[in-house]
Amino acid sequence: MKRLDVIVIGGGLLGCFTARNLCRWDLTVALLEAREDVCTGISRANTAVVYPGYDHKPGTLKAELTLRANRAFGMLCADLDVPFSRCGSLMVACGEQGEAVLRKKLRNGLESGVPELRLLKRAELLELEPELTPEVTLGLFSPNAGTVNPWALGIAAMENAVQNGAEFCANTPVTAIRETEGGYLVETEGETFFTRAIVNCAGLQSVAVQELVYPSPVRLRITAGDYLILDPLTAHAPKHIVQFEPERGKGLTAVPTVEGNLLLGPSERAGSDFGTDRDGLDFVRALTRKVLPKVDLDDTIRTFAALRPNPERPDGSSIKSFVIDRPAERFWSFLGVKTPGLTCADELGLYVARQTAEALNAKENPAFQPVRKGIPKTHALDFAARQGLIAEDPEYGNVVCFCEDVTLAEIRAAIRAGANTVDGVKRRVGATMGRCQGSRCRLIIEELLREEGVYEG
């Protein structure tokens, strides 16, 4: 039986970052993921925003971690070789009620210490972001908000953990957990592991995983939201993240992504799978027409849905804070972490990793290497650098995904780094994400998966 110090259950953003941070101590770590790859659950779809921290009550863990995470995000992404755009955000209002919300957020933010926050009147707003509706009356500008691709971040964290000695086990759903002398027995469909401690990062399944061995103090109400992605060539995309909260109900976030697309969403509705919903998409379209009236929604290249776990007390009341439960000395559970989970993933991972290390009396790992090098992004290189790569490997000269300019060498590298589906390749190097949605490169990628021995037949 394999013996470990810590098993992390669930390879979403939190699991990947918990594993990464556990490697800062002298611990043996395994990350168990039920599905074929990391970031296939909650982390596969979200708004991709790195929040500045004014949304939360000052003094709470959420406010503290978001603020710290935002400050450190540039360094984190530099360490992990992940593109990050600190494009800034504008939360806008069209009327007095909305303005009151902005003023409250400003007070929150100032009290929490969010830097460089300020209110902008209509004329300043339109000067900064001419694509906004002229109906805006006030905006809260935060130059420190940013955007990152959640998969890129999760994959980078997982690879960094593996590089530091953690073991990643895909297709390994946990079927039972039993307390035993000095730790736990974790049964999976394949083998059984012994571990001294467990960190449950199972996202949508987090309550179910905890209930394999302990009762859960909360339950999860799952909601869904719909998004649209527009072609990078669309005219009138905003340069900043634009957030709009109407007088009533759920708002809209528009994000100029690191890939150059415009992401619009989400709606909020009942739902328990990743299927999109007509009313939900229509809701996003209607708000977009109101807030960014010049955006042409015919430039949509993809729609998708996200799932969110909403933690609730047994009486049905909702919980705003992060629920980090510790039902036993050596068992931690993230129960239903949603926004700002992407922003705080590394901070939350470190928060629990530190407690775990203390509980296990682990020493710091002096060999921990925080820097991870990703697959070279050919399209981002200048002529000379790209020429140099082709000289090393001619497959860098062979473009397979025309829309996103992704080469054969990058796709092969993605497969060798663990991509075992076309989606896995997409999440690692961006192929099939463009305006033709893989209609011209999917077959070539499938052939490569066969050539590399991942696909059979």
Binding site for another protein (CB under 8 A): 229, 233, 273-278, 281, 298, 300-304, 383, 386-387, 390-391, 394-395, 397-399, 402-403, 405, 435-440, 442-443, 447
Q: How far is the CB of 300 from another protein (least distance, A)?
A: 6
User: Residue 372 carries which DSSP code?
Assistant: -
We find the least distance from the C-beta atom of residue 330 to another protein, in angstroms, to be: 36
Q: What value does the CA radius of gyration of the chain take, rounded to a whole number of Å?
A: 22
185, 192 Cβ separation under 8 angstroms: yes
Q: Which is nearer to another protein, 300 or 365 (CB)?
A: 300
Shortest distance (Å) from residue 342 CB to another protein: 21
Of 12, 14, 18, the C-alpha closest to 197 is 18
Peptide bond into 340 cis (omega under 30): yes
Among residues 100 and 385, whose Cβ is nearest to another protein?
A: 385
Which residue number, 179 or 447, has a Cβ lying nearer to another protein?
A: 447
Distances (CA, A) of 109 to 129, 320, 340: 22, 17, 15
Distance in Å, CB of 350 to another protein, minimum: 34
Name the 3-class secondary structure at 7.
strand
54 vs 58: CA distance, rounded Å: 8
By beta-carbon proximity to another protein, the closer residue of 77 and 237 is 237
CB of 132 to another protein, least distance (A): 24
The Cα–Cα gap between 309 and 341 comes to 11
Minimum CB–partner distance for residue 41 and another protein (Å): 13
What are the backbone dihedrals phi and psi of residue 300, each rounded to the nearest 5 degrees, phi first? -65, 130
Closest CA to 30 of 177, 194, 149: 194
* Shorter beta-carbon distance to another protein: residue 22 or 237: 237
Could you tell me which of 231, 403, 226, 225 has the C-alpha nearest to residue 300? 231
Q: Say what angle helices 422-429 and 442-451 make with each other, to 10 degrees.
A: 100
* Shortest spacing between CB 306 and another protein, in angstroms: 13
What does the alpha-carbon distance between residue 244 and residue 254 come to, in Å, rounded to a whole number? 9
Task: Give 319 or 436: the residue with its C-beta nearer to another protein.
Answer: 436
Residue 17 structure tokens: 């970052």
